[in-house]
Chain A
Amino acid sequence: MTGAVAQALWSHWRRSPLQLFTLLAGLILATALWSGVQAVNSEARASYDAAAATLGEGQFDQITPRQGSEIAQDSYIALRRAGWQVAPVIEGRWNGFRLIGLDPLTAPASLSSVQPEEGFDFADYLREGPLSVNAESASRFAELTDRPLRIVADLAPDTVIADIGVAQALLRAEGMLTRLIVSPSQPLNLPELDEIAPELQLDPAAASADVGRLTDSFHLNLTAFGFLSFAVGIFIVHGAIGLAFEQRRAMIRTLRATGVPLARLTLMMAAELLLFALLGGAIGVLCGYGIAALLLPDVAATLEGLYGAQVAGTLQFRASWWLSGFAICIGGTALASSGALWRLSRVSVIETGRAQAWRALSGKTSVVQGAVAAILLLAALIFANFGHGLIAGFSLLGCLLLGAALLLPLMLSAVLGLAQRVSRSALLQWFWADTRQQLPGLSLALMALLLAMAANVGVSTMVSSFRLTFIGFLDQRLFSELYVRADDAEQAQALQDFLSPRARDVLPIVEEEWEVAGLPTELFGAQIGPSYIENWGFLDASDNPWEETARGEAVLINEQLARRAGLWVGDEVLLSEGVTLRIAGVFGDYGNPIGQSVVSYSLFEQLAPDAMPTNFGIRSDAPEALTRALINDFGLRETQIVDQASIKALSLDIFERTFTVTGALNVLTLAVAGFAILMSLLTLAAMRVPQLAPAWALGLTRAKLGQLELVRALILAALTALFALPLGLALAWVLLAIVNVEAFGWRLPMYLFPADYARLGLFATAAALIAASWPALKLSRLPPADLLKVFSNER
């Protein structure tokens, strides 16, 4: 019996290859977009883990210089002699690679990069000085050196580990170190660090940058976008399964009438879907791999630009996203088919096999759908007003999008009903009524289009708002024409003396780690003058923020600190014992993960007398000449000087690449929605014949019917685009005002870009027009005999 039933079930797909293609394509697209994003996320996270394993970032305390960036090897030797269990590290860039020198004899054993494998010969290692790289970087690195290479699988990408002596030689920094790793086990009665090396400071492990935590928000955003794309794909699957079940109702009735038990039939149809899910999932994961391979270089650039996180530029197949791709594909199929299977399990064998779901929206269905949409939108409103945290932010997004999608067919139906009522001509009345009749069949595809367009409007508004704000922010913060870095306090003093007669202004950039309102903060001292007053803007400020700050009566804080500590202009904060200052201004500080406070330079000197400025911003009317003078006359190295234009260019370049990922996902999602419309129209085309035949018989030509089909698709897409605009703007508002604040701690102003929206609307209607043109062409060429069959009892 199983074979016969399987043959009957399969015969439907064999005779309806387009429907099978739609179903599989929906599954493949949904899985590909989801698993592509998962692949990118998992690759990035693996890179963070590799980086942490390489240098013990976040695992061990570290000793770093108080000023400058180098530690004399003598200080290291002094510490070792005093009993400190420390391991030297030198780090620098060498031919585009991050070169790290470690001492394998003193480095903590838990660093994977220095763990000796079985048979490892230290004598050989020290004699030959091999360089450790991961397999991916090995081939590129081999071209740069004749030294032997050692492959270490879990090493971070573009990172080379060498013996400390070899690294010092390659970096031309003999006798210099950049930091010391502090072993967790230290002897008792250890002398204080200040006694042996006062120029060094101990950074606890917790203070080290936890890249994984910083980038969580970015990955959460990517995951949310991946899920949205997946949802669009599942809409297609739902439509295809729903239609297939409806078309097979007659067959199901016959199967049951001829003795196939309901349980067996339901089980076999579920197994059939599972098979499709496995097939679609497998192909989808492979396509996802392709998408991830395309996206990963931009994601890697984004993460490096925003967070300094190193991510491998190439992909590996990882079991986690392979499994997650299959799981979400099977889960999505189950979700998309649950309604159809449930209806199947309840259908009575003596009911006629007529199609029901593709009929016009019944009053009851409309009421239920409207009620669910209203509940979801109400929930969104509650989340917006009372929710806290990222989960509430994303729940708000979910409720808003799903609620709006469910509302769409009802809104369209109302608009089309209104158009029908105000139309005078019979043709127009028939056209509107007929369009309304198509809504149930097209609603899933239109919902997919709505979601895709709203995502486009929302994300592009967010990105463009970010771009405008960010450019303004760069102009505001990078107002000095040159930035220079001195090696030590002595050079810094000499530099100031050299610059005083030559520059318009020399602004020290000095900071100290501080605690404000119980939160870790960067405390800056600013030499307040016209440069700051003319260029810095505030989100909110008192009447004279700079004057109050310059007098040492007030402090300026960034938005992150203000939001996290619940502070605002007019509040007071304790900076040190006896030093309580009023907040005179809150400034935007986009992209900075932690809090910042700015006080006058004189007050800073009182608060942190040991901090000496080694970085300076220089105002100059002739920056190029001054750069030459600094190099030629003062003897500053070229690498110690950075000009404003190159910093801005670099920042903007990083920024532009940052959102390439979301841009690519936008295009993909819209393409999927266009595909959904095409598939729905093609699938409906055969069912349209009985609906169109009477109009044809009454005098409309086939060409006219084809044209009307095109117009219908255009109108539906344009109406959907109109509904998508406010939804997309609401989405942008949620992203900027809620999700961004929860994820990063700062809020972006929202700008509107009407030209972009108009272009997007045109693109969407063009996509619908292209999707509709093939079915319309088929209709205009439909043989009259097929239309005549509608009127005979032979159909």
Chain B
Amino acid sequence: MLDVSQVTKSYSGADGPVIVLRGVSFSLGAGETLALTGESGSGKSTLLHLIGGLDQADGGQITIEGRDITHLGDAERAALRRDEVGLIFQQFNLIPSLDVAANIAFQARLAGRYDKESARDLSNKLGLTEQLSKYPEQLSGGQQQRVAIARTLAARPKLVLADEPTGNLDEDTAAQVLDEMLALVNDTGAALITVTHSPQIAAKMGRVLRLSHGQLA
């Protein structure tokens, strides 16, 4: 499903180029779950951004279902994010001016895959039925992350990328949200990559890869 091969990435810093990824390679099959761990600055989020088409690699190759996404233009990468990949962020990134129902439907509508029944089902499973007419600012952190998860899964992506999805939540809520997310991802048959610092979360994934100084340890 996903092949990452010898991917490199660097940014220009105040003291010259900062190498973030130094030839990272791994593969992921459909329906598999993977935890990316490592110390701060090890390149976890950058790798996730490259896979999600948010940024472009300097070298190497990333293919999703056999299609090389490394050299896609802005519009093609936007289409990739819209149609094939789902992103879940630590900061939730909901649209503050849309209510919960519209937020959940948003990406599915963009991808042309909005199904009212399945969105309602997702809301039920995530305990959001009572919150549909509320706005993000009226929800707790856990509820906001549930909305973000529902928004991503309602679009039925093949690959879900989650960047510390429970980093802003307390321990109990985090565990609860993670379990719900894993169950739903499992239901849709999508592959999942989660960036996390937490050994407990990593333990719940099918595989764990550890990054250190831009390389797989």
Residues of chain A whose beta carbon lies under 8 Å from any beta carbon of chain B: 1, 3-5, 7-8, 11-12, 14-16, 250-251, 253-263, 349-350, 352-353, 793-795
Which chain B residues border A15 with CB–CB below 8 Å?
Answer: 96-97, 135
Q: Are A258 and B82 in contact (CB under 8 A)?
A: yes
Q: Mark B91-111, 1 if CB is under 8 A from A, else 0.
A: 101111110001001110111
Nearest CB of chain B from residue A337's CB, rounded to whole Å: 19
Which chain A residues border B91 with CB–CB below 8 Å?
Answer: 352
Among B33-41, B72-80, B186-194, B206-214, the stretch in contact with A: B72-80
Can you give 10 A-B contacts (C-beta < 8 A)? A1-B109, A8-B95, A8-B102, A11-B95, A16-B97, A256-B78, A257-B54, A260-B82, A263-B75, A349-B54
Known contacts A16-B97, A254-B94, A259-B78; is A7 also within 8 Å of B102 by CB?
yes
B83 at the interface (CB under 8 A from A): yes
CA distance A96 to B96 in the complex (A): 66
Known contacts A258-B110, A259-B83, A259-B107; is A8 also within 8 Å of B98 by CB?
yes
Segment 47-84 of B: residues with Cβ below 8 Å from A: 49, 52, 54-55, 74-75, 78-83
Residue of A nearest to B73 (CB): A261
Q: Are B97 and A259 in contact (CB under 8 A)?
A: no
Q: Are A260 and B55 in contact (CB under 8 A)?
A: no
Q: Are B93 and A8 in contact (CB under 8 A)?
A: no
Which chain B residues border A262 with CB–CB below 8 Å?
Answer: 74-75, 78
Q: Mark B172-210, 1 if CB is under 8 A from A, else 0.
A: 000000000000000000000000000000000000000
CA distance A254 to B91 in the complex (A): 11
* A3 contact from B78, B97, B109, B151, Cβ within 8 A: B109
Q: Are B109 and A11 in contact (CB under 8 A)?
A: no
Which chain B residues border A8 with CB–CB below 8 Å?
Answer: 95, 97-98, 102, 106
* A259 contact from B89, B110, B141, B168, Cβ within 8 A: B110
Q: Are B82 and A11 in contact (CB under 8 A)?
A: no
CA distance A255 to B95 in the complex (A): 8
Having A15-B96, A258-B151, one finds 8 other A-B pairs with CB under 8 Å, namely A4-B110, A8-B102, A12-B97, A250-B96, A257-B89, A260-B78, A261-B78, A349-B55
Residue of B nearest to A15 (CB): B97
CA distance A401 to B96 in the complex (A): 39
Known contacts A259-B111, A261-B74; is A4 also within 8 Å of B96 by CB?
no
CA distance A255 to B91 in the complex (A): 15
Q: Are B97 and A260 in contact (CB under 8 A)?
A: no
Which chain B residues border A350 with CB–CB below 8 Å?
Answer: 49, 54-55
CA distance A349 to B89 in the complex (A): 13
Which chain A residues border B98 with CB–CB below 8 Å?
Answer: 7-8, 11
Which chain B residues border A251 with CB–CB below 8 Å?
Answer: 95-97
Nearest CB of chain B from residue A255's CB, rounded to whole Å: 8
B127 at the interface (CB under 8 A from A): no
B12 at the interface (CB under 8 A from A): no
Which chain A residues border B80 with CB–CB below 8 Å?
Answer: 259
Closest 7 CB pairs of A and B: A259-B82, A11-B97, A4-B109, A259-B81, A261-B78, A15-B97, A12-B97
Count of CB-CB pairs between chains A and B under 8 Å: 84
CA distance A263 to B102 in the complex (A): 23
CA distance A439 to B101 in the complex (A): 38
Nearest CB of chain B from residue A782's CB, rounded to whole Å: 15
Which chain A residues border B107 with CB–CB below 8 Å?
Answer: 258-259
Which chain B residues border A253 with CB–CB below 8 Å?
Answer: 93
Q: Are B79 and A259 in contact (CB under 8 A)?
A: yes
> Which label, helix, strand, loop or mixed, suits the secondary structure of the B interface?
helix
Which chain B residues border A14 with CB–CB below 8 Å?
Answer: 97
* B141 contact from A3, A255, A794, Cβ within 8 A: A794
Q: Are A254 and B93 in contact (CB under 8 A)?
A: yes
Residue of A nearest to B108 (CB): A4
CA distance A259 to B109 in the complex (A): 11
CA distance A255 to B110 in the complex (A): 9
Nearest CB of chain B from residue A352's CB, rounded to whole Å: 8
Which chain B residues border A5 with CB–CB below 8 Å?
Answer: 110
Known contacts A11-B102, A12-B97, A15-B96; is A258 also within 8 Å of B141 by CB?
no
B29 at the interface (CB under 8 A from A): no
Which chain B residues border A4 with CB–CB below 8 Å?
Answer: 105-106, 109-110
CA distance A795 to B139 in the complex (A): 9
CA distance A350 to B80 in the complex (A): 15
Residue of B nearest to A789 (CB): B137
Nearest CB of chain B from residue A654's CB, rounded to whole Å: 56
B128 at the interface (CB under 8 A from A): no
B4 at the interface (CB under 8 A from A): no
Q: Are B75 and A261 in contact (CB under 8 A)?
A: yes
Which chain A residues border B54 with CB–CB below 8 Å?
Answer: 257, 349-350
Residue of B nearest to A11 (CB): B97
Which chain A residues border B137 with CB–CB below 8 Å?
Answer: 795
Which chain B residues border A261 with CB–CB below 8 Å?
Answer: 74-75, 78-79
Which chain B residues border A7 with CB–CB below 8 Å?
Answer: 98, 102
CA distance A8 to B109 in the complex (A): 11
CA distance A14 to B102 in the complex (A): 14
Which chain A residues border B109 with CB–CB below 8 Å?
Answer: 1, 3-4
Segment 128-186 of B: residues with Cβ below 8 Å from A: 135, 137, 140-141, 151, 168
Residue of A nearest to B91 (CB): A352
CA distance A793 to B140 in the complex (A): 9
B87 at the interface (CB under 8 A from A): yes
Nearest CB of chain A from residue B198's CB, rounded to whole Å: 17
CA distance A8 to B82 in the complex (A): 16
* B106 contact from A12, A258, A352, A353, Cβ within 8 A: A258
Which chain A residues border B135 with CB–CB below 8 Å?
Answer: 15
Residue of B nearest to A10 (CB): B97
Nearest CB of chain B from residue A54's CB, rounded to whole Å: 60
CA distance A254 to B87 in the complex (A): 10
Which chain A residues border B83 with CB–CB below 8 Å?
Answer: 259
Q: Are B95 and A793 in contact (CB under 8 A)?
A: no
CA distance A7 to B106 in the complex (A): 9
Nearest CB of chain A from residue B123's CB, rounded to whole Å: 18
Nearest CB of chain A from residue B11's CB, rounded to whole Å: 11
Which chain A residues border B141 with CB–CB below 8 Å?
Answer: 793-794
Nearest CB of chain B from residue A71's CB, rounded to whole Å: 78
Residue of A nearest to B152 (CB): A258
Q: Are B110 and A260 in contact (CB under 8 A)?
A: yes
Nearest CB of chain A from residue B6's CB, rounded to whole Å: 22
Which chain A residues border B111 with CB–CB below 8 Å?
Answer: 259
Which chain B residues border A795 with CB–CB below 8 Å?
Answer: 137
Which chain A residues border B168 with CB–CB below 8 Å?
Answer: 793
Nearest CB of chain A from residue B158's CB, rounded to whole Å: 14
Residue of A nearest to B49 (CB): A350
Nearest CB of chain A from residue B84's CB, rounded to whole Å: 9
Nearest CB of chain A from residue B159's CB, rounded to whole Å: 13
Nearest CB of chain B from residue A79's CB, rounded to whole Å: 82
